[in-house]
C-alpha cells in the first residue's frame, strides 16, 4: 500500500524472566524509544501500540504534541476481559482475587490509554459498544476484522470439491480457563461416551499430553489426541482437514483467527455467543452458538452435530462461503483508514 512500517516486538526490549514487571516496564520505555528514533532521523506519521502498553505514551503525548499521533490496538478490551473473568468465576463458584474484584493496575493503564489516545482499533461489536459507553467518541473508533490467509481458502475449496467424509471434534487454542476448558471437558466427555468411535483433538494447547489428558476420565483418553505445538500452516491445514467440527467455548475473546480458519476449511463451528464469534456466527446458519458456561447447551450442540453429519457439513459450507471476504487486504485497508483518521484529527488540533 506504499507505506513504510517498522515493527518492534518483545525481542527488542531488555526483558527479565518475570511477566508481571514487564507489564509496567515496557510501556514506560516506549516514549523514550520514539524520542530516540526521532533523533536518529526516524520521523513517524503514526504510532500503533497494543492496548495494555499505551498509557505512558499517551501521557507524554499530552505534554508534547510533537510526538506522533497514537492508535491503540485492542485484541479484546482489558476492562471487558476483567469483567468477563469475574462473571465467569462467580458463575462457576471459583475463587475471586481482590485485584480481580476491585483493582487491576493493568486495566487502569489500559483505560487511560483508551481515553487519551488519538484513535482506537478493536475487533468486535461488543468492544465498540463498550468504548462508546465509557465516552470514547465514535469517530475515534474503528471496528476492524482479522483476515484469513488464501492458503486456507484454497485448501478449503479443494476439500469441498473432493466431498470427503470427515468426522471428529477439534479444539484449537491454549488449554486455559478463558478458552472454556472447564466447560469443554464435561461436555466432550459426555458426547464421547454417547459416540464410542468419536475422536477428539486438542491442538496448539501449549501443554504436554499427560497434563491435558489428566483432566479427562481414563476410559476416553485413548481417543483424545493432544498436539501441544503447531509449527506451520501446512500442519494446521492438515489438522483442520481431519475434523468436521470446531469447538471454542471461550468466556472472552477479541476475534479469534481460529474461527476464520476453521470456516475456510468448512468445519461446523460450535462457540459461545460473545465477542468476535457472535459477530461472525449466525446461529443455525453457519454455526451454533451457546451461552457462556452452559455445559448442557454445549453438550447438546456438539451431540447434535455428531449425530447429524449432513447438518455439520451444511453449516461448514455456509461458513466457508461467508469467510471468503475476510482477506488480509480488506483488514489492512480498514486499519490504514483508521491511521489516516488519527493523523487528520491530530493535525486539526495542532
Cα 73 to Cα 254: distance, rounded to the nearest angstrom: 11
- Over residues 24-70, the pLDDT tens digits come to 788 888 888 888 888 888 889 999 999 999 999 999 999 988 899 99
| CA pair distance 309, 143, nearest whole angstrom | 35
How crowded is residue 42: how many other Cβ atoms within 10 Å of its Cβ? 11
Cell of 286: 453457519
**Domains 10-146+328-349 and 150-324 equal at CATH topology level:** yes
Gap between the Cα atoms of 239 and 248, Å rounded: 16
CB neighbour list of residue 148: distance below 8 Å, 6 or more residues apart:
257, 260, 261, 263, 264, 323, 326, 327, 328
Q: pLDDT tens digits for 254-268? A: 999 999 999 999 999
Residue 61's alpha-carbon distances to 5, 40, 122, 293, 348, in angstroms, are: 21, 19, 21, 42, 15
CATH number of the domain located at residue range(s) 10-146+328-349 in this protein: 3.40.50.2000
**Predicted pLDDT at 106:** 86
CB atoms within 10 A of CB 243: 23
Could you give the CA distance from residue 148 to residue 145 in angstroms, rounded to a whole number? 10
pLDDT of residue 18: 59
Q: Coil, strand, or helix at residue 200?
A: strand
Tally Cβ neighbours within 10 Å of residue 105. 10
Contact 69, 118 (CB under 8 A): yes
State the pLDDT confidence band at 103, using cuts at 50, 70 and 90: low
Displacement of CA 201 from its chain's centroid (Å): 20
| Structural domain spans, the chain | 10-146+328-349, 150-324
Of 3 and 331, more confident: 331
The pLDDT, as a whole number, for residue 42 is 86
Task: Look at the alpha carbons of 342, 343, 345, 346 in this order and tell me if their dihedral is positive or negative.
Answer: positive
- Mean pLDDT is lowest, of 26-40, 180-194, 204-218, 256-270, for 26-40
Range with lowest mean pLDDT among 15-29, 65-79, 151-165, 232-246: 15-29
Dihedral of the CA atoms 28, 32, 33, 36 (nearest 10)? -170
Helices (H), 117-149: 125-133
pTM higher than the cut 0.75 = yes
292 has a pLDDT exceeding 60:
yes
Q: How many CB atoms lie within 10 A of CB 310?
A: 7
Closest C-alpha among 282, 280, 273 to residue 258: 280
Nearest to 167 by CA among 199, 196, 194, 189: 199
- In the CATH hierarchy, which fold is given to the domain comprising 150-324? Rossmann fold (3.40.50)
Amino acid at each position: 500500500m506504499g507505506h513504510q512500517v517498522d515493527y518492534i516486538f518483545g525481542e527488542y526490549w531488555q526483558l527479565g524472566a518475570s511477566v508481571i514487571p514487564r507489564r509496567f516496564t515496557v510501556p514506560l520505555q516506549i516514549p523514550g524509544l520514539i524520542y530516540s528514533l526521532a533523533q536518529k532521523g526516524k520521523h513517524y506519521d503514526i504510532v500503533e501500540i497494543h492496548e495494555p502498553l499505551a498509557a505512558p505514551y499517551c501521557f507524554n503525548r499530552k505534554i508534547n504534541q510533537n510526538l506522533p499521533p497514537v492508535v491503540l490496538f485492542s485484541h479484546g478490551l482489558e476492562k471487558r476481559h476483567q469483567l468477563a473473568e469475574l462473571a465467569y468465576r462467580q458463575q462457576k463458584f471459583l475463587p475471586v482475587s481482590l485485584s480481580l474484584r476491585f483493582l487491576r493496575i493493568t486495566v487502569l493503564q489500559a483505560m487511560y490509554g483508551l481515553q487519551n489516545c488519538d484513535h482506537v482499533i478493536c475487533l468486535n461489536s461488543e468492544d465498540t459498544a463498550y468504548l462508546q459507553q465509557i465516552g470514547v467518541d465514535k469517530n475515534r473508533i474503528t471496528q476492524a476484522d482479522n483476515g484469513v490467509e488464501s492458503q486456507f481458502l484454497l485448501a478449503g475449496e479443494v476439500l469441498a470439491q473432493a466431498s470427503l467424509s470427515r468426522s471428529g471434534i477439534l479444539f484449537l487454542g491454549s488449554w486455559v480457563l478463558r478458552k472454556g476448558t472447564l466447560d469443554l471437558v464435561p461436555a466432550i466427555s459426555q458426547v464421547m461416551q454417547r459416540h464410542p468411535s468419536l475422536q477428539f483433538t486438542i491442538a496448539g494447547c501449549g501443554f504436554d499430553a499427560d497434563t491435558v489428558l489428566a483432566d479427562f476420565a481414563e476410559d476416553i483418553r485413548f481417543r483424545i489426541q493432544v498436539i501441544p505445538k503447531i509449527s506451520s500452516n501446512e500442519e494446521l491445514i492438515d489438522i483442520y482437514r481431519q475434523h468436521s467440527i470446531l469447538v471454542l467455548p471461550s468466556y472472552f475473546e477479541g476475534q479469534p483467527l481460529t474461527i476464520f480458519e476453521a470456516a475456510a476449511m468448512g468445519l461446523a463451528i460450535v462457540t459461545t455467543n460473545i465477542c468476535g464469534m457472535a459477530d461472525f456466527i449466525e446461529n443455525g446458519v453457519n454455526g451454533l452458538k451457546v451461552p457462556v458456561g452452559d455445559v448442557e447447551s454445549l453438550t447438546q450442540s456438539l451431540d447434535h452435530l455428531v449425530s447429524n453429519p449432513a447438518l455439520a457439513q451444511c453449516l461448514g459450507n455456509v461458513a466457508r462461503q461467508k469467510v471468503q471476504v475476510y482477506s488480509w487486504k480488506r483488514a489492512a485497508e480498514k486499519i490504514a483508514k483508521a491511521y489516516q483518521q488519527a493523523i487528520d484529527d491530530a493535525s486539526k488540533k495542532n
